[in-house]
Amino acid sequence: MWPWARYLVAPATKWLAPSYGYGLERVPESGGGVMAMNHLSAIDPPLVGSLSPRTIYYMAKAELLEMPVVGDVLMWTGAFPVHRGEGDRESLRLARDIARDGHMVGVFVEGTRQKLGYPGEVLPGATLIALQEGVPIVPCGVYSFGWSRKNRMPCAIVWGEPMDLGTMPRSGRGYKRAAELVGDELRHLWRQAGRATAAGFPEQLPDGARRWAPIYPPFRTVTATPSSPASERKEAA
């Protein structure tokens, strides 16, 4: 649904948060991946979704998706619920299925919105998905702290080069070490995004990343978010 919803959500997001993205050319045009993002404000999911050239299937807290209006908008951006406890495993299986099928899974890697204004500790969920499915991590630094509906400040995001973590062991220690590397890159990209915002959105960053406004890819055949095996069994019952 996002390729169509983008035409409504992107202009509204641009009005709410006059923003730009950098490094869009670094996002793989096809193939599975995990977009790893820091999380600083409520505008982050539609902001990244509007500026990304790929549809992002976000892992989002189930409570958010159940909220009126907010949940609808998140579903339009390609979100699926993460439940606490046993359901969390099911969500991870669905995320792996999505990445395996060649789509981009979006993960706010700290697990919750950060309230101190800078990226927090990266949890290993995103790296687990990437390592288990052999897909790259696409880091995305988001600068949006302080944004609210009453403070419609400019924001920025910066994508980094895809990270191949294939040499890391598929173990708890490997996932944790990979998460530390992703955290280092996200902090670097977040600082770049902050400098770009302060400089009035230059056309190009010092490392060559180009500035992009929200894009509107041509319509194409769209499939629904893949369903988990457990969900399919419930529907069939």
Q: What is the mean pLDDT of residues 57-61?
A: 82
CB atoms within 10 A of CB 47: 28
Confidence band, pLDDT 50/70/90 cuts, at residue 137: very high
Report which of residues 140 and 73 the model is more confident about: 140
Which range scores top for mean pLDDT: 85-94, 109-118, 214-223?
A: 109-118
Task: Quickly count: other Cβ atoms within 10 Å of residue 28's Cβ.
Answer: 14
Tell whether the model's pLDDT for residue 67 goes beyond 90. no
Taken in order 3, 213, 126, 116, the sign of the CA dihedral is negative
Identify the structural domains of the chain with CATH numbers, from first to last: 2-236 (3.40.1130.10)
Res 90 pLDDT > 60 = yes
Q: What is the mean pLDDT of residues 216-220?
A: 59
In the predicted model, is pLDDT for residue 59 greater than 70? yes
What pTM, to 2 d.p., does this model score?
A: 0.85
**Residue 65 pLDDT:** 67
What average pLDDT is seen over the chain?
A: 85
Q: What is the pLDDT of residue 187?
A: 98
CA distances (Å), origin 103, targets 8, 13, 29, 31, 122: 22, 23, 10, 6, 22
Question: CA separation (Å) from 187 to 30, 39, 142, 177?
Answer: 26, 12, 9, 16
The torsion angles phi and psi of 56, rounded to 5 degrees, stand at -110, 125
How far, CA to CA in Å, does 37 sit from each of 7, 108, 141, 200? 23, 5, 6, 22
Would you say residue 91 has pLDDT above 70? yes
Percent of the chain, pLDDT > 90? 62
Residues 13 and 49: their CA atoms lie apart, in Å, by 10
Least reliable range by pLDDT among 57-66, 101-110, 155-164: 57-66
Decide if 210 contacts 22 (C-beta within 8 A). yes
Distance CA 215, CA 201 (A): 17
